[in-house]
Amino acid sequence: MRAGGQRTLVTGGAGFLGSHLCDALIRRGDDVLCVDNFHTGTRSNIAPLLEHPRFELLQHDVTLPLDVDVDRIFNLACPASPIHYQHDPVRTTRTCVLGAMNMLALAERRRARILQASTSEVYGDPEVHPQPEHYWGRVNPIGLRSCYNEGKRCAETLFFDYRRQHGLDIKVVRIFNTYGPRMYVGDGRVVSNFINQALRGDDVTVYGDGSQTRSFCYVDDLIDGMLAAMDSPADFTGPVNVGNPAELSMRELAERVLRLSGSRARIVHQPLPPDDPKVRQPDIGLARQALGWQPRVSLDDGLRQTIAYFRALLNP
């Protein structure tokens, strides 16, 4: 660690999660280097930090090598919503795999601790419910979602091979559905879709019969979990699930968004997309035990804050 304090690199730092992570790191006193190619990240997400003396922005694509002086690395760079990662699937796979390789090479050169932001998508359409870390998943390797699912699975492989082969100090966090302010209006994720449709008075689109389930973690809780993983002892590598285990159906989520937003929009049904998981719920026993972490923000409280954010965007 340098004399002036810890320097932390956040790839994908101008994205939804990355910008919240940069905020948290600045609050706790780190020097933050935010790296983003602005493929899906936006300058507005990090605008309040641009003049901060401990914040630096570098426009760079992680599929290209990078050599900077850092103590810790959070690797978040990758489009994470289906609309974005399916738009250019080859680029998505390159970002997952080459991005991981380049950041691991940097961590090896600098002997830096590095955290991989993995995903619940590594479990695919699971046969085990809820999903514990020791479950290997059920993933279609050639489907529309495979660029992201298999890209993230390969990144995890690289992280553990670097640890075994080079003794690298790694952490792997599997992120479950997360929501909150700074989500993109048109990112295709269910929370942002439902909220924006409700606020506009459009039909709220539920795919299938709405019985498929998800678990939603508010962004502040998720960032606390990532920081706890990064700060954990060196012998704890993960992978560790970080998410909210409170499960609800898509129909229930749509009804809750309508109630909290005061919208009179109606719910309509459309066919279920290919490879869409029927259930998704994290087993967070390991996070509770090893990290002392669990989510604290209720779904209603988190949705109220997220609805207020989108309402301000739609009615500036």
Active-site amino acid positions? 148
CA 193, 195, 201, 207 torsion-angle sign: positive
Which among 116, 118, 173, 125 is positioned nearest to 145, based on CA atoms?
125
CA dist 259 and 252 (Å) reads 11
Q: Say if residues 16 and 184 touch (Cβ distance below 8 Å).
A: yes
Cα distances (angstroms) measured from residue 6 to each of 162, 233, 258 = 23, 17, 44
CA dist 49 and 56 (Å) reads 9
The answer for residues whose C-beta is within 8 angstroms of residue 52's C-beta and 6 or more apart is: 26
Alpha-carbon radius of gyration of the chain: 19
Phi-psi region of 135 (alpha: psi -120 to 50; beta: other; left: phi over 0): beta
CA dist 29 and 202 (Å) reads 44
Phi-psi region of 125 (alpha: psi -120 to 50; beta: other; left: phi over 0): beta
